[in-house]
Amino acid sequence: MSDMATLERGLAAMGIELPEAAHEKLVAYAALLAKWNKVYNLTAIRDSSQMMTLHLFDALSVLPHLGAVTRLADVGSGGGLPGIPLAIARPELAVTSIETVNKKATFQQQAKIELKLANFEPVCARVEEVRRDPSFDGIISRAFSELSDFIRLTAHLLAPGGRFYAMKGVYPHEEIARLPEGFRVVESVELTVPALDAHRHLIIIERNGNA
């Protein structure tokens, strides 16, 4: 099955409808990731069909749960996940990707150029050193760190009323118990990723008024 057919089948399974141009860019991104991965070791996944499932579908599975977020920070995004697929899927969403490893940020910049992603900005820096005004109404991470560290390192970037979106595997009971004071889980979504036989959860966190 071609990458395009795999993509279209996966999007249909998730109930996500995107324009044809987005389909083309998603497939092009997967090809670009595979190409650069041979030299830069961006991901341990080598097979293109596995990249579709483990990377693109996994990233896009959060799309229906981002609500009205307009400015999204993707922290520790590696090869641009989930930020680049989300930027492709939602051109009106401004995505800033914060990545400390130079070769990974360089790849993201190349992807931005080749895919013509005007709404995507890669930043090579430690997240705790980044400052933005206006700040972000959504901050997302995909296996970046423990929840408490994720919040501690990024809370200064979250706008009032904004939310954290932590992509996790099995439900992180112990991590949630260690959340910093002033933050609470407002929703936990069990994600369904086509062709992936593994637990995936999206943990949505916000300030409870004391932080």
- Please check if 9 is assigned to a binding site: no
Tokens encoding 102: 């130079």
158-168/201-207 β-pairing: antiparallel
Instruction: Using CA atoms of 123, 56, 137, 149 in order, give the dihedral in degrees to the nearest 10.
Output: -70
Amino acid at position 105, single letter: A
- Please check if 170 is assigned to a binding site: no
- Cα–Cα distance between 154 and 184 in angstroms, integer? 15
Edge-first strand order for the sheet with 120-124 is 120-124, 94-99, 71-75, 136-142, 158-168, 201-207, 183-190
- Please check if 92 is assigned to a binding site: no
- The secondary structure of 75-114 as a DSSP string is ES-TTTTTHHHHHHH-TTSEEEEEES-HHHHHHHHHHHHH
Amino acid at position 59, single letter: A
Residues with Cβ within 8 Å of 206's Cβ and at least 6 positions away in sequence, in order, are 161, 162, 163, 164, 183, 184, 186
Annotated binding site: 76, 81, 127-128, 142
Annotated binding site for S-adenosyl-L-methionine: 76, 81, 127-128, 142
